[in-house]
Amino acid sequence: MDHDLDLSADPAALTAALVDIASVSGEEKPLADAIERALSAAPHLTVHRDGNTLIARTSLGRAERVVLAGHIDTVPHAGNFPSSLNAERTRLMGCGTSDMKSGVAVALRLAAGVREPNRDVTYVFYDCEEVAAERNGLGRIARNSPDLLEGDFAILMEPSGGDVEGGCQGTLRVAVRAFGTRAHTARSWMGDNAIHKAGAILDVLRDYLPREPAVDGLRYHEGLNAVSVTGGVATNVVPDACEVQVNYRFAPDLSPEEAIAHVQSLFAGFETEVLDVAPGARPGLDAPVAAAFAAAVGGVPRPKLGWTDVARFAELGMPAVNYGPGISEIAHTPGEYVELAAIAACESRLRAWLET
Amino acid sequence: MDHDLDLSADPAALTAALVDIASVSGEEKPLADAIERALSAAPHLTVHRDGNTLIARTSLGRAERVVLAGHIDTVPHAGNFPSSLNAERTRLMGCGTSDMKSGVAVALRLAAGVREPNRDVTYVFYDCEEVAAERNGLGRIARNSPDLLEGDFAILMEPSGGDVEGGCQGTLRVAVRAFGTRAHTARSWMGDNAIHKAGAILDVLRDYLPREPAVDGLRYHEGLNAVSVTGGVATNVVPDACEVQVNYRFAPDLSPEEAIAHVQSLFAGFETEVLDVAPGARPGLDAPVAAAFAAAVGGVPRPKLGWTDVARFAELGMPAVNYGPGISEIAHTPGEYVELAAIAACESRLRAWLET
């Protein structure tokens, strides 16, 4: 079934229409098709498609170009599909309302409605953000057609409660392993208990004082946590191996290499293996274009502690921020919702910034 | 196919014949049938059968009665079936050679060949020792027909390298649990990491000094070990629970209740759950009948550190020891074997004790 989107509908109605076209990661085609049809009707936009990712650009020869990007996929439904309004008709409830079809609705309305923006704009609607990083549509475009993402500044419409959230922290996961020697527990002194030795790994974690550095004027808050521990052979065997997986969330003043070296130094004496790492992104609010944006939309910029795709723009050398009407704390929960007033406020601030 | 056992064959040949009738736990019927036929041919024995367990008794009205018991099942084969001799023809190799068909062969030859022992003898050949305790044939007889097991002293023909091993240590397994509060690792200070808290459980284990008490003249050696640790929710979540399973091997001067209370006191402040417990058995070598046995067979009695079915005799109020030709350290390994000379030595010592 083909779905038609009315980009002239009010932003709450458009959000509901977007939510009601199911687009769990990997199944975005019906929604991508609908967005492509709607954007292709706007003569001031040039539209590119790559899989289920759409890119629509103005080409007015402006001095600056900004990128507005939002992912169109959601996590799996959790009894919260399709959308519904609360009794007071102030909130739209359902899967993807906050994360982040309300942001997508704002971007679509700006794309269709702001025909002569004061800055050239590249709108990006991409797939597979909620799944493994290698499937991420924005990453695919950055690899295949980085020129399509060029610009002076990027705004990722992740849920940020209507405030500017600058940059993001990096994330590193490392396996830290202790080894021993097996023995029957009836003669345990013949062995060397690897789980007991892993106590020294937990000592490091218990004693660790996380940094809270200021980066480009925003104060971040790191964390170093065991996220899993496994060990044991059988109920009567002294175990010879124990693994603690440690997740280090690091402020964007550290590179991934520096973060890895830091964790390895903390666990010197143990085997370590880097399982995955994603760089952070500096908030970049000292760049004039970013500072001008923050001033235009108002509020006090906050640091983004979670990892988001702003890091992909940072890797392309572009300052980027998170700015969207959704609420990050309730994303991925069955009770996800968005305030209708927040959608309208986000749109009007961005529209003012692009039109005046 | 019916198998016939020749109890007049030399003990090494009889051991090989027993090994070559497969009897993995639960599949002992062919071997039990063969043993029943062989014992029923001896007019001086009264034979009882309960499932795949056989009990053969002399009834000479002697002042003392001793029990010689051995299990007829084995662990699953591991490429070590049927039996074979080593090149020097000094060792019989294969599944069950040490644990414990060599002991069973000795007991069968004594049953058939010692027609007028100086003590009445109850021979027990039982099933399902190598599997869950509730299936154990000796335990079944103790529940159903305890009178058949009555006696002044019991010898369990477990592999003990030809030395008397007295009593056994008890074993207790307890789950010790730490709890916390989940949070996203990007905001880990909102949570309380249960794996980090479990560090205090490992502290107790690392600092623990095991007791080495002397009990009835034998020195035991306890052990307190983590045998497994599990915790973790997802790679980006501060975990709210962590469980360490602790195995306490306790000397037979402690009751199961005392062992449980000891472990609970060590981990006060954590949730504990008793997963399983088996009592130890005092060596009982201070009983005159046991001391006389130890003196007759010679050597220096040792404490048995692992748990064995002697504890079942202890629960019936009988002193009991482990005494068999097998080697416990290689039991359950693909390379299991028994020294042929050890089988003959074990038989001749027991025969001398029963005949003189």
- Crossing angle of helices A288-297/A340-355, nearest 10°? 130
- Which ipTM score applies to this complex? 0.84
Percent of chain B with pLDDT over 70: 100
Query: What is the distance between the alpha carbons of residues B257 and B263, in angstroms, rounded to a whole number?
Result: 10
Task: Read off the pLDDT of residues B43-88 as tens digits, 9 standing for 90 and up.
Answer: 999 999 999 999 999 999 999 999 999 999 999 998 999 999 999 9
Which pair of structure tokens corresponds to residue B145? 């027909």
Percent of chain A with pLDDT over 90: 85
Per-residue pLDDT at B55: 98
Per-residue pLDDT at B339: 98
* Residue of chain B nearest A248, judged by CA positions: B185
* Residue of chain B nearest A280, judged by CA positions: B186
Average pLDDT of B256-275? Answer: 97
Candidates B47, B41, B95, B44; CA nearest to B72 is B95
Percent of chain B with pLDDT over 90: 84
Average pLDDT of A176-184? Answer: 94
Per-residue pLDDT at A356: 83
Per-residue pLDDT at B283: 87
Average pLDDT of A29-39? Answer: 98
Whether B64 is a known active-site residue: answer no
Q: Are strands B271-278 and B53-57 parallel, antiparallel or unpaired?
A: unpaired
- pTM for this predicted structure: 0.83
| Interchain contact, B239 vs A223, CB within 8 Å | no
Cβ burial of B13 (10 Å; 0-12, 13-18, 19+) is: middle
Per-residue pLDDT at B35: 98
Helix (H/G/I), strand (E/B), else coil: A230: strand
Task: Read off the pLDDT of residues B304-349 as tens digits, 9 standing for 90 and up.
Answer: 988 999 999 998 999 899 999 999 888 888 899 999 999 999 999 9
Expressed in percent and rounded to 5, the helix, strand and coil fractions of chain B are 35, 25, 40
* Residue of chain B nearest A246, judged by CA positions: B235
Helix (H/G/I), strand (E/B), else coil: A32: helix
Candidates A313, A321, A311; CA nearest to A291 is A321
| Interchain contact, B234 vs A227, CB within 8 Å | yes
Is the pLDDT reported for residue A183 higher than 70?
yes
A230 touches chain B (CB under 8 A): yes
The residues in B 237-266 lying below 8 A from A, measured between CB atoms, are: 237-239, 242, 244-245, 247, 249
| Interchain contact, A185 vs B169, CB within 8 Å | no
A226 bridge partner residues: A246
Which pair of structure tokens corresponds to residue A61? 């020869």
| Interchain contact, B193 vs A237, CB within 8 Å | no
Expressed in percent and rounded to 5, the helix, strand and coil fractions of chain A are 35, 25, 40
| Interchain contact, B225 vs A199, CB within 8 Å | no
B319 touches chain A (CB under 8 A): no
Closest Cα of chain A to B334: distance in Å? 17
Per-residue pLDDT at A82: 97
Per-residue pLDDT at B95: 96
Query: What is the distance between the alpha carbons of residues A26 and B320, in angstroms, rounded to a whole number?
Result: 68
pLDDT averaged over every residue in chain B: 95
Closest Cα of chain B to A78: distance in Å? 18
Average pLDDT of A161-168? Answer: 92
| Interchain contact, B203 vs A206, CB within 8 Å | no
Stretch among A111-120, A311-320, B94-103 having the lowest mean pLDDT: A311-320
Closest Cα of chain B to A39: distance in Å? 36
Q: Are strands A153-156 and A320-322 parallel, antiparallel or unpaired?
A: parallel
Which pair of structure tokens corresponds to residue A92? 């739209």
Vertex B121: Cα angle to B162 and B44 (nearest 5): 125
Is the pLDDT reported for residue B218 higher than 70?
yes
Q: How confident is the model at residue B1 (pLDDT cuts 50, 70, 90)?
A: low
Is the pLDDT reported for residue A1 higher than 70?
no
Q: Exactly one of B28, B99, B127, B129 is catalytic; name it.
A: B129
Q: How confident is the model at residue A131 (pLDDT cuts 50, 70, 90)?
A: confident
List chain B residues with CB under 8 Å of A233. 227
Task: Read off the pLDDT of residues B160-201 as tens digits, 9 standing for 90 and up.
Answer: 999 999 989 999 999 999 999 998 899 899 899 999 999 999
Per-residue pLDDT at B23: 97
Average pLDDT of A53-71? Answer: 97
Candidates B111, B137, B141; CA nearest to B123 is B111
Per-residue pLDDT at B285: 87
Q: How confident is the model at residue A192 (pLDDT cuts 50, 70, 90)?
A: very high
List chain A residues with CB under 8 Å of B225. 185, 188, 193, 196, 238
Query: Where is B141: in which H helix or E strand?
Result: helix B137-144
Residue B198's contacts (CB-CB under 8 Å, 6 or more residues apart) are A202, A229, B178, B229, B231, B242, B244
DSSP string of A91-149? EEESTTIIIIIHHHHHHHHHHHH-SS-SSEEEEEEES--SS-GGG-HHHHHHHH-GGGG
Average pLDDT of B225-253? Answer: 95
Active-site positions of A read 73, 129
Is the pLDDT reported for residue A355 higher than 70?
yes
Which pair of structure tokens corresponds to residue A15? 């959000």
Is the pLDDT reported for residue A301 higher than 90?
yes
Q: How confident is the model at residue A274 (pLDDT cuts 50, 70, 90)?
A: very high
Average pLDDT of A65-75? Answer: 97
Helix (H/G/I), strand (E/B), else coil: B327: coil
Closest Cα of chain A to B228: distance in Å? 4
| Inter-chain contacts counted by CB atoms under 8 A, chains A and B | 151
Phi-psi group of B125: left, alpha or beta (phi > 0 → left; psi -120 to 50 → alpha; rest → beta): beta
Phi and psi at residue B339, to the nearest 5°: -80, 130
